[in-house]
Chain A
């Protein structure tokens, strides 16, 4: 059975052309894709839009049908009440377990803050975080 704590993020390639981001946002809008969180990583000549969406499988197919480069990436969502303290705690647990955090971004929700991270070993990270009592977001909570 798939681990319910693994969250699917969609990573979208955005080239450095005026209007490219707007064009992608328009695709999301036209397909009624509900965005729960996003982050734009950029270098000087291109960007990568990372998004958490409702029904990522459908969103993936919709985006790809428009010829846009999109990829599914497994990430973990950490529910936090006090983000700086929790970030420290989670980071320390993973560091001890030898897990590398590749990138992360946060989103302030209604009930809690959410911290999304991409790590080099998702399964192991979920295991050690859960064992340490850190509250992880379930995939179903984002639907």
Chain B
């Protein structure tokens, strides 16, 4: 029993690390733009599909695949920013969100046109079996996932707190009007935030796909939903919150799946989100400025 509990906690934290990465990207965009980017996951999916296509055609190596995923995701992210967010900067948040949904449809169809099957193999990070630590097992991918998540968080921390770009990003998050008044070039900040968020999403997507060993068209919706859920659980627009939310989501899912099965796992996550929103809409996090 205790062994199972600890094993589930390990598995939950592994999944949670991936959720946290997804949520950080989501949160960066929400924190800076105060917009929800539904195309976040589909852009990641397109990146993974582009890499898979290259793999199917040319059998490239792991690092090349990772680089391809990153490049294609950032490119797709830039496309989303130009078409859905730049034009609606000072206007309706709803219009921007619906536009990002429309582009989601585009990206998903584009990906499935290039690779129409329901499932494609993706080269795994590590071919061997899981590592055993006494009574527990841990997949090698999980360690990579943790390590990369920690590294990505540290890199983001440096970027946000040690660079001029980071300073302007934090200024825009905290005081958007003042940031504009002191002459921060908002459009340029937005574009770069999108690029950083997409890159983080691509890292998460690559790790998820490589540890699953496959890509499916579900990846887009899955990434958007998990990233959004983790972001909301941790508190809208807060970066440490996104990490906590991601890990919490992973833990909740792992434990409720073990006790009640996969359907109740999803049900629990959504119920928690609903309850948090209904009971503490402003208590756990700051109120939106112009959501």
Do A and B come from the same complex?
no
B contact residues vs A (CB 8 Å cutoff): none
